[in-house]
Amino acid sequence: MTSQASRRLSRRSLVRGSVAAGAVLVAAGGTASRAAADAARPSGSIDSPDGPLLDTRALRAAISGLSHPPSTSAQLHAAHGAEHWYGTEGVADLTTGRAPRPDDKFRAGSVTKVFVATVILQLWTERRLELGAPLGRYLPGLLPADFARITVAQLLNHTSGLPDHRGIPDMSTPEAALRHRFDQWTPPEWVRTVTHDPLKFRPGTKQEYRGINYVLLALIIEKVTGERYGDAIAARLLRPLGLTRTLFPGDDPRLHGPHVHGYLRMTDGSLRDATVYNPSSTWGEGELVSTVDDLVCFQQALFSGALLLPRAMNKLFTLPPSDVRMLDGSPARYSMGLQTGTVNGVTFWGKTGEVYGYRTRVLSTRDQRLNFVLTYTPTPLNTDEDITNRVIAALT
């Protein structure tokens, strides 16, 4: 490990769930200990003097039924202060009928981006890259000259203005999604699909969420570190935190070991297993495989400041200036690595992820007092946010 934040992490233990405010206790002289965190985490709700803070009945109801949207499974880990609750619904595998477990692997989609952003911000604090530098400095010749002036910061907060993809398959039906699920893409090939049109807007003036921004950031990690981006993330984040079941599979189409299956409902009504597919088209932006346990641990470490120095934490939680709006005119909602929204007066920060057959939500208040990791396996190709909305309503 090379970053200042990573060296600091490796000298202390992260102990989960020990303070009502959701803060992390650290013990000097230890190492990042997953076992200590698991031992400290309560297995269920703990009554406060005024009664439990978590409405576990409402949380159970929020993930039960699995009909809105139609899903085959759901897992939820929720915390309010020192109280923790974990629950499941449905089955991890329709063939065996086995219930999901918190250490089952699943595809976490765009949660990948938080891991990429964290390493980019670590490299910035180490002065190995500049956030205000044009990406052409790190990736010369990869993009047209006008594009190469986009800065690293503008990639991080989705204000790059990169154009839409051209020349990629139409994946608008479940049949098409399965038909193309073994397509092989390299990162340069994927980048070239956004070079056929001019920039949508002057970089830094508007915000549009685009996965290609993080493909470029992953390439920058490789250029700066000399390692594959997944290896750099493993060395800096996964191994120090003990996230042994989190990985970046590259073009490996299978989930190995115990995992949750994802399914898609075809237009004829039949259900097909969509678990196995080549994730090369999601390289750098959405290929993460993880578990509920691992994402809870990562969320706590990130929000506690154990992975980033204070000036990098400020970047993580800072939105663009108020005059920078989304393309539809709504306020910007993406920082340098996270997204944010306010529900019932509670502001959450975190990341959502979506790939065929899987949805993941990793969200927390900035002080960690209220947080949750939700993963479920909807069968429609495009689906609503009913489960997420129910969980947030139950928590707030």
Position 65 pLDDT exceeds 90? no
Cα–Cα dist 232/258, whole Å? 25
Q: Work out the angle at residue 231's Cα, subtended by the Cα atoms of residues 317 and 303, and round it to the nearest 5 degrees.
A: 20
- pLDDT for position 170: 93
Cα–Cα dist 206/211, whole Å? 16
- pLDDT for position 51: 61
Residue 31 phi, psi (nearest 5): -120, 165
- Residue 25, domain member (yes or no): no
Position 339 pLDDT exceeds 60? yes
Q: What is the pLDDT of residues 1-58, one digit of tens each?
A: 333 333 333 322 232 222 222 222 122 222 233 333 333 333 333 334 456 899 999 9
- The CATH number linked to 330 is 3.40.710.10
- pLDDT for position 45: 36
- Residue 232, domain member (yes or no): yes
- Residue 237, domain member (yes or no): yes
Domain that holds residue 158: 53-395
Q: What does the DSSP 8-state code read for residue 182? A: T
Tokens of 117: 């952003």
- pLDDT for position 27: 23
Radius of gyration of the chain (CA): 20
- Residue 137, domain member (yes or no): yes
Cα–Cα dist 382/173, whole Å? 9
Domain count, the chain: 1
What's the predicted TM-score (pTM) here? 0.88
Determine the average pLDDT of the residues in 294-323: 98
Q: What is the pLDDT of residues 197-224, one digit of tens each?
A: 999 999 999 999 999 999 999 999 999 9
Q: Which of 44-53, 189-198, 262-271, 358-367 has the lowest mean pLDDT?
A: 44-53
- pLDDT for position 42: 35
Proportion of the chain above pLDDT 70, given as a percent: 87
- Residue 113, domain member (yes or no): yes
Tokens of 32: 């990042």
- pLDDT for position 165: 97
Cα–Cα dist 193/208, whole Å? 17
Q: At what angle do helices 386-395 and 56-63 cross, to 10 degrees?
A: 180
- pLDDT for position 50: 59
Cα–Cα dist 262/13, whole Å? 35
- pLDDT for position 157: 98
Cβ atoms of 255 and 266 closer than 8 Å: no
Position 164 pLDDT exceeds 90? yes
Cβ atoms of 116 and 228 closer than 8 Å: no
Q: How far is CA 170 from CA 166, 179, 180, in A?
A: 10, 10, 9
- Residue 374, domain member (yes or no): yes
Determine the average pLDDT of the residues in 139-145: 95
Higher pLDDT, 8 or 346: 346
- pLDDT for position 1: 38
Proportion of the chain above pLDDT 90, given as a percent: 86
Q: Work out the angle at residue 119's Cα, subtended by the Cα atoms of residues 117 and 122, and round it to the nearest 5 degrees.
A: 110
- Residue 10, domain member (yes or no): no
- Residue 18, domain member (yes or no): no
